[in-house]
A and B are shown apart, each in its own frame.
Chain A
Amino acid sequence: MALVTEAPGTTAVPRAGGAGIIEVAHLQKRFGSLKAIDDLSFVVRPGQVCGFLGPNGAGKTTTLRCILGLITPTAGGATIAGRHYAELEDPLATVGAMLDAGSFHPGRTARDHLRVLCAAAGIADRRADEVLALVGLTEGARRKVGNFSTGMRQRLGLAGALLGDPDVLVLDEPATGLDPAGINWLRQLLRHLAHERNKTVLLSSHLLSEMEHTADRVVIISQGRLVREGTMAELVGSASASVRVVTPQPDRLIEALAERGATVERVGDALVVRSSDTAAVGKVAFDHGIELHELTSLHEDLEDVFLELTRAADDQELRS
């Protein structure tokens, strides 16, 4: 399978224009001696939901804050529609963002929170009520945010991101604290915005499974470095299947399977065969008269792929 990672240098120059394109090019950020982000490059295009994944502490939030001009990179940089965030003419109409699961003054009402932003961004005040209705918060509009549940805060954060009807959405862990119905609602909304309205959606998560039905593409980082970039379909395809076999004659079975070109691994007192065909493995044993005590199909799920990818990056880090 082709890794979509481009060789260093090919993504270096932010391409001019491209409404809605987020481009991160050779981004690097150090906090003291800690390298939080190390030569990270990727591109997110309109019309797709891009999942930005990595374990806790991988540098996801730092990257998003660099894209949004809140953190100054040590080297490299990020552009939206070919410009740095601080140079955007009308930032809220270009990019809508939600960080820290939304940030609110607990003593301010949801409506007032949005009206504060409306005034700053030159957006008509009635837009505050529109986005509150859009995220289903009309009822709670005049309640203080301090009394909100996590899910309601999340919705308000999203309302803030949608305030300027932007072409680009950048959301940091938007699903945290949402119930299953809320997650489903969020998924529908984001896919609608990307696919029907051609918006660019970049959302971070530390759970790949959460992204499986939401994201079209994924960018996976670990230790501040890119470990994988590609479509969700490719990633799902790389989740391998195997068959677990327990036998009192493991050496004979390994030999028999090796003749058929199968890859076999000893795991404790069991063998793990790289194959999705349980019947074929059983037949090989039967043909050679090998006694079997267990024959189980194993399916690696996306989370295992994710763990493997990010662990490989960790190991590399240790060796270097």
Chain B
Amino acid sequence: MNGLLRSETRKLTTTRLWLGLLAGGVALVALYVLVIAFTAGNDARARDVLPALSSPAAVRTVYGVPAEVGYLMPLILGVTIICTEYRHRTITPTLLATPRRARVLLAKVVVAAGAGFLMGVVLTFVAAALGAAAIAARGYPVLLTSDGVPRLLGLMTVALGVWCVFGLGFGALLRNQVAAVVSAIALVTIVDGLLALLLRWIHLGTVAQYLPGSASRAIINPATTRGAELLPWWGGALVLLAWGLGTAAVGSFVTLRRDVT
């Protein structure tokens, strides 16, 4: 298994994609952190959406940017970990070297979790450092050690690892890289939200909180939920973990049986 983990790690590090996604993630997180930090509380009408940064819940919106948007990068990374093998047909030499497919998939899940976690560490660090600087610049206390913030920072690193595993499972189901990346992003950014709205509309808002996007947001435990019902932070973490492992399990199960033509 050690050899397989090394093999999967080499696959990641010998191409440049991870670097591009990490750079994109850093840029995305930095942009969101700055925009949120410098607009929060400015507009009287929007205060219930973006309240002033005087409460722990409000600063969590700034520090929680990796879980709000940064997770897209480990999600894409996870999709590509499996889809690139189908795209360039390297799945053939991979399965020839290790015909026991379950072991290949297990190694991929472990490497995806690790890579997503490391990405999470970097993005969380960027959000914390840049967020604290921006909040301080606006004259508010940075509240980095206050209510729920350290927990949020720690949980986000793990959550991004889970998102990478979710992407892996999703990619294993679709196999086509472009289709899988586009639909994974659409699923978490559009479908998830629309479904939540729809569920709330038919008074099933309690169901909506179990969607992956809502579960991820619950970890932030933000000041305002814009009318959505969210699980407590630990519930969100567990539900997100279930989504990641469940999707990976279904994707693996399908991959075990499928012919590689």
Query: Which residues of A are at the interface with B, using a C-beta cutoff of 8 A?
Result: 62, 65, 68-72, 85-86, 88, 91-92, 95, 97, 99-100, 103-109, 112-113, 115-117, 119-122, 160
A105 touches which one: B3, B88, B92, B98 (CB < 8 A)?
B88
Indicate if B7 sits at the interface (CB-CB under 8 A).
Answer: yes
Q: Closest CB-CB distance, A78 to chain B, in whole Å? A: 13
Q: Chain A interface mostly helix, strand, loop or mixed?
A: mixed
C-alpha gap A139/B165 in the complex (Å): 38
Q: With A91-B97, A105-B84 in contact, do A117 and B7 touch (Cβ < 8 Å)? A: yes
C-alpha gap A66/B193 in the complex (Å): 44
Contact across chains for B14 and A99 when beta carbons are under 8 A apart: no
Query: Which residues of B are at the interface with A, using a C-beta cutoff of 8 A?
Result: 3-4, 6-7, 10-11, 14-17, 84, 88-100, 257, 259-261
Residues of A within 8 A of B89 (CB): 100, 103
C-alpha gap A86/B96 in the complex (Å): 9
Residues of B within 8 A of A100 (CB): 89, 92
Q: Closest CB-CB distance, A285 to chain B, in whole Å? A: 58
Contact across chains for A92 and B16 when beta carbons are under 8 A apart: no
Which chain A residue lies CB-closest to B5?
A119
C-alpha gap A78/B189 in the complex (Å): 47
Known A-B contacts: A72-B257, A105-B90. Give 18 more (CB < 8 A). A62-B261, A69-B95, A71-B260, A72-B259, A92-B97, A97-B96, A100-B89, A105-B15, A105-B88, A107-B15, A108-B14, A108-B15, A115-B14, A116-B7, A117-B7, A117-B93, A117-B97, A120-B94
Q: Closest CB-CB distance, B245 to chain A, in whole Å? A: 24
Which chain B residue lies CB-closest to A103?
B89
* 20 A-B residue pairs with CB within 8 Å: A69-B99, A70-B261, A71-B259, A85-B99, A86-B100, A88-B99, A97-B96, A99-B92, A100-B89, A104-B88, A107-B15, A108-B14, A108-B15, A115-B10, A117-B97, A119-B4, A119-B7, A120-B3, A120-B4, A120-B97
Residues of B within 8 A of A106 (CB): 88
Which chain A residue lies CB-closest to B16?
A107
Q: With A105-B15, A117-B7, A120-B97 in contact, do A65 and B261 touch (Cβ < 8 Å)? A: yes
C-alpha gap A13/B100 in the complex (Å): 24
Q: Closest CB-CB distance, A178 to chain B, in whole Å? A: 20
A104 touches which one: B10, B16, B90, B259 (CB < 8 A)?
B90
Residues of B within 8 A of A122 (CB): 3
Contact across chains for B14 and A116 when beta carbons are under 8 A apart: yes
Contact across chains for A119 and B6 when beta carbons are under 8 A apart: yes
C-alpha gap A100/B257 in the complex (Å): 21
C-alpha gap A69/B99 in the complex (Å): 7
Q: With A108-B15, A116-B11 in contact, do A92 and B96 touch (Cβ < 8 Å)? A: yes
A121 touches which one: B16, B90, B97, B260 (CB < 8 A)?
B97
Residues of A within 8 A of B84 (CB): 105
Contact across chains for A71 and B14 when beta carbons are under 8 A apart: no
Residues of A within 8 A of B98 (CB): 91, 120-121
Q: Closest CB-CB distance, B141 to chain A, in whole Å? A: 46
Residues of B within 8 A of A71 (CB): 259-261
Contact across chains for A86 and B99 when beta carbons are under 8 A apart: yes
Which chain A residue lies CB-closest to B94?
A120
Which chain B residue lies CB-closest to A102?
B93
Contact across chains for A103 and B100 when beta carbons are under 8 A apart: no
C-alpha gap A91/B104 in the complex (Å): 14
Q: Closest CB-CB distance, B159 to chain A, in whole Å? A: 29
Which chain B residue lies CB-closest to A92?
B97
Residues of B within 8 A of A108 (CB): 14-15
Contact across chains for B97 and A103 when beta carbons are under 8 A apart: no
Residues of A within 8 A of B11 (CB): 105, 116
C-alpha gap A121/B261 in the complex (Å): 22
Residues of A within 8 A of B99 (CB): 69, 85-86, 88, 91
Q: With A107-B15, A120-B7, A120-B98 in contact, do A70 and B93 touch (Cβ < 8 Å)? A: no
Which chain B residue lies CB-closest to A109?
B14
Contact across chains for A70 and B15 when beta carbons are under 8 A apart: no
Residues of A within 8 A of B260 (CB): 65, 70-71
Residues of A within 8 A of B17 (CB): 107
C-alpha gap A109/B13 in the complex (Å): 12
Q: Closest CB-CB distance, A161 to chain B, in whole Å? A: 9
C-alpha gap A108/B84 in the complex (Å): 12
Residues of A within 8 A of B94 (CB): 120
Residues of B within 8 A of A85 (CB): 99
C-alpha gap A242/B3 in the complex (Å): 62
For the complex of A and B, the 3 pairs showing the least CB-CB separation, nearest first, are A103-B89, A120-B7, A119-B7
Which chain A residue lies CB-closest to B257?
A72
C-alpha gap A100/B90 in the complex (Å): 10
Q: Closest CB-CB distance, B23 to chain A, in whole Å? A: 16
Residues of B within 8 A of A95 (CB): 96
Q: With A91-B99, A112-B14, A117-B97 in contact, do A70 and B92 touch (Cβ < 8 Å)? A: yes
Residues of A within 8 A of B88 (CB): 103-106
Contact across chains for A68 and B96 when beta carbons are under 8 A apart: yes
Which chain B residue lies CB-closest to A146?
B88
Which chain B residue lies CB-closest to A106?
B88
Residues of A within 8 A of B91 (CB): 103
Q: Closest CB-CB distance, B220 to chain A, in whole Å? A: 35
C-alpha gap A112/B4 in the complex (Å): 15
Q: Closest CB-CB distance, B190 to chain A, in whole Å? A: 30
